[in-house]
Amino acid sequence: MSGIQAMPMAKALNAGLRQAMLDDPKVLLMGEDIGPLGGVFRITEGLQAEFGQNRVLDTPLAESGIVGTAIGLAMRGFRPVCEIQFDGFVYPAFDQITSQLAKMTNRHEGTLTMPIVIRIPFGGHIGAVEHHQESPEAYFAHTAGLRVVSPSNPHDAYWMIQEAIRSNDPVIFFEPKSRYWPKGDVNLDERGPELHSTQVVRAGTEVTLLGYGPMVSVLLQAAELAAEEGTSAEVIDLRSISPIDYDPIIESVRKTGRLVIAHEAPGFVSVGSEIAATVTERAFYSLEAPVLRVAGFDTPFPPAKLETTYLPDADRVLEAVDRALAY
């Protein structure tokens, strides 16, 4: 494929995985039901038929075993890409990820690399049951030795998955499942921004709105509504949760004087907390108002009928914008 094509994120990820497998025969895919079925979200659809069962492996329902096996494969020179079927299913693999995968390179003083990608569909807005709509990114961002990223659109998804696979460090790749199906333009010839770069996706002058993954589309909607009321909002797509590219964020805050951070995860001890603290440290004298956070509530994810109450929406973002402008 070449040129600019409109496709949903699910297809962009599929195309990115396919290209990575064509580029490097050491790239392997592993996960539950990712073979003939193509995964529950069909991200790996058709890849086992094209590359065979030795490169697209249907695994048992054992997340700890998937990641543990991937660590062994990485030691032998392979580049495994593990699919965790749903966000809440990653916890059985938590020990392998945080105690082994994240620390292996440091344990060997840099002589052993861990080029492993762990793909995790995350977030809400799909009307699913418990353990299927969680946002566990802060656990992994807190863990030294892991890179953590999340695309918000098909173009970034296509290029970021390839960049993640090329990384010699382990990458936790959070895919916003609510954004799997909306289409967007993907430039298959022009490489996207560097994996760990923050991007300004809408220019503004009065307030900065910052998010990642599923929240970016919500922030863009909020910015449109704010513009109708005469407020100019700048929107920033974080893209990389760890490490964070702070320079565009600080530059934006110095221009607007206000920052609203939004994510679906609970607000307590969150990615938003860390960014709010760092921006306050680095741009305190530019702030016209406190850094405000809009997040999921500090409760377990509710039943599907209540998810729209739990998840941040444009109205909650605009309420925070109003509070910031009131200072």
pLDDT for 291 = 98
Catalytic residue chosen out of the listed positions 132, 155, 196, 263: 132
- Of the candidates 238, 249, 185, the one whose C-alpha atom is nearest the C-alpha of residue 215 is 238
Ranges of each domain in the chain: 4-187, 199-326
pLDDT one-digit tens code per residue, 275-300: 999 999 999 999 999 999 999 999 99
- Residue 155 is among the residues annotated as catalytic for this protein: no
pLDDT for 230 = 96
Q: Where are the beta strands (DSSP E) in the chain?
A: 4-8, 27-31, 56-58, 79-83, 117-122, 147-149, 171-176, 183-187, 199-202, 207-211, 233-237, 240-242, 259-266, 292-296
pLDDT one-digit tens code per residue, 137-185: 999 999 999 999 999 999 999 999 999 999 999 999 999 999 999 999 9
Give the right CATH number for 4-187 from 3.40.1160.10, 3.40.50.1700, 1.10.287.3240, 3.40.50.970: 3.40.50.970
Domains 4-187 and 199-326 alike in fold = yes
Strands 292-296 and 240-242: unpaired
Determine the topology of domain 199-326 in CATH: Rossmann fold (3.40.50)
pTM: 0.96
Q: In what helix (H) or strand (E) does residue 140 lie, and over which residues does it extend?
A: helix 137-141
Contact indicator for 178, 213 with CB cutoff of 8 Å: no
